[in-house]
Amino acid sequence: MLLDKYSFGIGDRFAMQGEAQLRALMRASKAIGTDIAPVWNKSNREHIIVGSTPAAVLREAEEAVKALGYGGQWFTDADHINMSNVDKFIEDSNFFTIDVADFIGKRETEDEIEAFTERSLKLADELYLPVEIDEPYLRQLGANYLYAIREAARIYHHIEQSKGRGQFVAEVSMDEAAECQLPDDLIFILHELAREGVGLQTIAPRFHGSFHKGVDYVGDLGVFAKQFEEYMEALNLAVEHFGLPEGIKLSIHSGSDKFSLYPIIGSIARRHGRGFHIKTAGTTWLEEVLGLAMTDDAEAIRLVKFIYSEALERCDELCLPYSTVIDINRQNLPGASEVNAWSGRQFASALRHIPDSPQYNPDMRQLVHVAYKIAAENSDRYLAALKRNAATVGQQVEENIYERHLRRLFDLP
Ligand SMILES: [Zn+2]
């Protein structure tokens, strides 16, 4: 089972926007003349907060595919799994994001680190890598990563035992690590993964800069572009020398809303003939809230304002599971009484991610991003509002993915 060159991680908290998201991808696929495979992803964290199951994600995907007569490849992603929770995803998933960030920094035995260092030095020699890649660098890399690599292999082989060889797509993710993995690091990490028999098709490193949920990239675009180019070279080595799949690519997590990066990612990948996997999901929930605010449905507008005022009160609790991936300046959050006086459209304009719009409030957007727990607690009311306003909300979801994401990534007119 080979992942398409281009794939796009979609998903939604409440499994209501499958069709709208798929429509956006089908439109873009048609425009570029190449399939962009939809990957329905939902992390264990989301399942727990919403009370959903991997089977429901599969059902949502199947229904959307059927309704739109979609004939390309599609996947359901066991997103950010580890050994403790992978089993509940095995049956209904065919894409596994093996997250080993928590194992980075755990040390293998000194003997193992020593053996890694020797192997890697030899490899650096064979590949004519620069002299900076010396023994102390490799020893440190082994101390930091060898354990996490072995853990990825344990999980991969565990999945392989149930699903069968070649019957699933594997991604290894390190994006929620405390430190970046530089392109040089990636060479040795990929070499070691290949050595452990992990047939990964995509890898999510932690890149330079900040990838906060729901907002644009914060970091130096020039540094990102240079490194992204070097990551491509690391992938080329992995294909040529380590026997990893030809189409191996990079995954960009928290990939929604990274508007300033899309032209860079798109053009460098195209130049190298490589694809990419962009993982989004939370952005669709934001579009639902925004879409409800845009309606003339007074109850729907009351509901989104209620979600915001609750979120303000429970800010600490809601932000906690996302502490590494959001950055809210609470000084910039409007008070509940202020927001209650707004029109629905004003509320929508504050949330809508148009970076140069004076109404746009990124701090409010990030808070609402993590506030889906409140909608889940009031799911009868929330789902009823979505059903009453399915057309308006669906249009927001589709437009967001197509116009603001895919158009920039694929340089569409
Ligand atoms: Zn991630």
pLDDT-based confidence at residue 282 (cuts at 50, 70, 90): confident
* pLDDT above 90: residue 335: yes
Residue 392: count of CB within 10 angstroms of its CB:
18
Q: How far is the CA of 254 from the centre of ligand 1 (A)?
A: 6
104, 126 contact by CB (below 8 A):
no
Q: How far is the CA of 248 from the centre of ligand 1 (A)?
A: 18
SS3 letters across 110-160: HHHHHHHHHHHHHHHHHCCCCCCCCHHHHHHHHHHHHHHHHHHHHHHHHHH
Residue 12's pLDDT is 87
Per-domain residue ranges of the chain: 6-281, 284-404
Q: Work out the average pLDDT over 262-276.
A: 97
Q: How far is the CA of 173 from the centre of ligand 1 (A)?
A: 7
Q: How far is the CA of 177 from the centre of ligand 1 (A)?
A: 9
Percentage of the chain modeled with pLDDT above 90: 93
pLDDT-based confidence at residue 394 (cuts at 50, 70, 90): very high
Q: How far is the CA of 339 from the centre of ligand 1 (A)?
A: 32
6-281 maps to which CATH number?
3.20.20.70
Residue 167's pLDDT is 97
* Mean pLDDT for the chain overall: 96
Q: How far is the CA of 189 from the centre of ligand 1 (A)?
A: 18
Distances (CA, A) of 271 to 37, 227, 297, 347, 409: 20, 15, 48, 41, 13
pTM exceeds 0.85 for this model: yes
Smallest CA-to-CA distance from 13 within 54, 33, 42 is with 42
Residue 283's pLDDT is 86
Q: How far is the CA of 137 from the centre of ligand 1 (A)?
A: 26
Residue 353's pLDDT is 93
Q: Say how far apart CA 64 and CA 79 lie, in whole Å.
A: 20
Q: How far is the CA of 272 from the centre of ligand 1 (A)?
A: 24
Q: How far is the CA of 176 from the centre of ligand 1 (A)?
A: 6
**Residue 35 token pair:** 């399939």
SS3 letters across the chain: CCCCCEEEEECCCCCCCHHHHHHHHHHHHHHHCCCEEEEEEEEHHHHHHHCCCHHHHHHHHHHHHHHCCCCCCCEEEEEEECCCCCHHHHCCCCEEEEECHHHCCCCCCHHHHHHHHHHHHHHHHHCCCCCCCCHHHHHHHHHHHHHHHHHHHHHHHHHHHHHCCCCCEEEEECCCCCCCCCHHHHHHHHHHHHHCCCCCCEEECCCCCECCCCCCCECCHHHHHHHHHHHHHHHHHHHHHHCCCCCCEEEECCCCCCCCCHHHHHHHHHHHCCCEEEECCHHHHHHHHHHHHCCCCHHHHHHHHHHHHHHHHCHHHHHHHHCCCCCCCHHHCCCHHHHHCCCHHHHHHHHCCCCCCCCCCHHHHHHHHCCHHHHHHCHHHHHHHHHHCHHHHHHHHHHHHHHHHHHHHCCCC
Strand 36-43 and strand 6-10: the pairing is parallel
Q: How far is the CA of 337 from the centre of ligand 1 (A)?
A: 35
Q: How far is the CA of 80 from the centre of ligand 1 (A)?
A: 7
Q: Which long-range contacts (CB under 8 A, 24 or more apart) does 220-228 make?
A: 221/260, 221/261, 221/264, 224/261, 224/264, 225/264, 225/268, 227/182, 227/183, 228/264, 228/265, 228/268
Residue 321's pLDDT is 87
pLDDT-based confidence at residue 408 (cuts at 50, 70, 90): very high
Q: How far apart are the first and last CA of the chain?
A: 32
160-195: pLDDT as tens digits: 999 999 999 999 999 999 999 999 999 999 999 999
Residue 264's pLDDT is 98
Q: How far is the CA of 215 from the centre of ligand 1 (A)?
A: 15
Q: How far is the CA of 320 from the centre of ligand 1 (A)?
A: 16
145-169: pLDDT as tens digits: 999 999 999 999 999 999 999 999 9
